[in-house]
Structure 1
């Protein structure tokens, strides 16, 4: 692990009886550890502990406050959580470090998207499209919790998620690394379909209510719109992400056909 990475850049933490047990019974997932609140009892806790021990996954008893702090959802964590290894999740800084590997080419940057269902659907769509990464900041965007995992149909565990502290931090780092930031705006003069695609690009997806935040907006090099001839003002942000992701696929497919 890089010096500037932390455990929260490597694990998806799930909590609550059903999400934890579902992760434990999925043989395709690697679980780093299970935490159980001291004093937590009952058949569900016993089943979780027994399942973890059968898979030789460490079970750690911790104060209930520790579980609540890590889950951020004391009403719903049931006193249990599990750290699931996310093999493609890493820090954005690590992904941009050219000393170890080739940098990702096409990214999505999430800014102010706080609805878990939207984040989950974006992760699923972008992963299906084969994008190189989805930048999900730790602050200002819905955390990757059981609601996001559910909305992604489990894809969140395996999605190429890149972590930064905030969207503004990510935008600044990406520009310094030579990426062009492209924002979506309904009133932009240029369309997504006419945009010359830079070799390294990050599409910025902002909140449906407030759009791209000012601290990120100042780093955006170009704005494009998704043409909508029908009588609809805008798309849900997850739908917009799908259009962007598969426009990238279409161009790559067309380029492959010409070569």
Structure 2
């Protein structure tokens, strides 16, 4: 399973998000990368803020900043790598035998990913798998939607959701997925002490390469003719029910 340097950091880009990270004493900023074309008052503000925190500033080409940020339109020539103390690659994370793990599969809307990170962390889930491919990157939009919780969420990183569920099955975890048509519900199903739960996209559901690894399907009961919930709302129902059972 491949490992990326971004398995340790949340990379924020753009002048305002970088300044907010530098001005937040609760956050450890590893480094700032500033385009060598950046000049004037905006660049000086970044340099001064980094200097006050003792954070190293690296100069790079504007193109290199775009590549590192992963966003060619909104980086504004600057990014910062913020240490995420609970973020790590999936396989080392599984060695600690987390009890309940949430896997994001094909969720590409940053607002949904951010809200799920906030909800799952608040509920007390032990791990949230955010694959580097097929899911919205943990970027300033996700950080904003999570109200900053993304920096301290128990994120587990891997390449794809399919890699994640294969690794979880290999580590002995049953894998449950949400499906509106499933006969077992999140309230009635027999959930083991250790399990993984997959959330698919609202349009495509669980992806085809993840489905073969699913060992059980769960639904959330709906009333009044409502067909389904937004994926972030579904995550809230699932996570709090899983943790409620664990603690009761």
Residue number in structure 2 paired with 1:62: 60
TM-score (norm 1): 0.94
Query: Any idea what the Cα deviations from partners look like across 1:46-105, whole Å, max 9, x if unmatched?
Result: 1111110111100000011110001122211000000000000000011123xxxx3111
Counterpart of 2:229 (choices 235, 238, 245) is 235
Q: Does the CA-based 8 Å contact 2:99-2:194 persist in structure 1?
A: yes
TM-score (norm 2): 0.98
For structure 1, the residue ranges without an aligned partner over 5 or more in a row are 255-259
Residue number in structure 2 paired with 1:195: 189
Q: Distance in 1 between matches of 2:220 and 2:209?
A: 23
Counterpart of 2:156 (choices 162, 165, 173) is 162
Q: Distance in 1 between matches of 2:204 and 2:195?
A: 23
Residue number in structure 1 paired with 2:109: 115
Matched, 1:133 2:127: yes
Q: Distance in 2 between matches of 1:252 and 1:246?
A: 10
Counterpart of 2:97 (choices 73, 95, 103) is 103
The two structures, once aligned, show a CA RMSD in angstroms of 1.1
Q: Distance in 2 between matches of 1:186 and 1:61?
A: 50
Shift of 1:230: 2.1
For structure 2, the residue ranges without an aligned partner over 5 or more in a row are none
Counterpart of 2:36 (choices 38, 53, 57) is 38
Shift of 1:252: 2.6
* Number of corresponding residues: 248
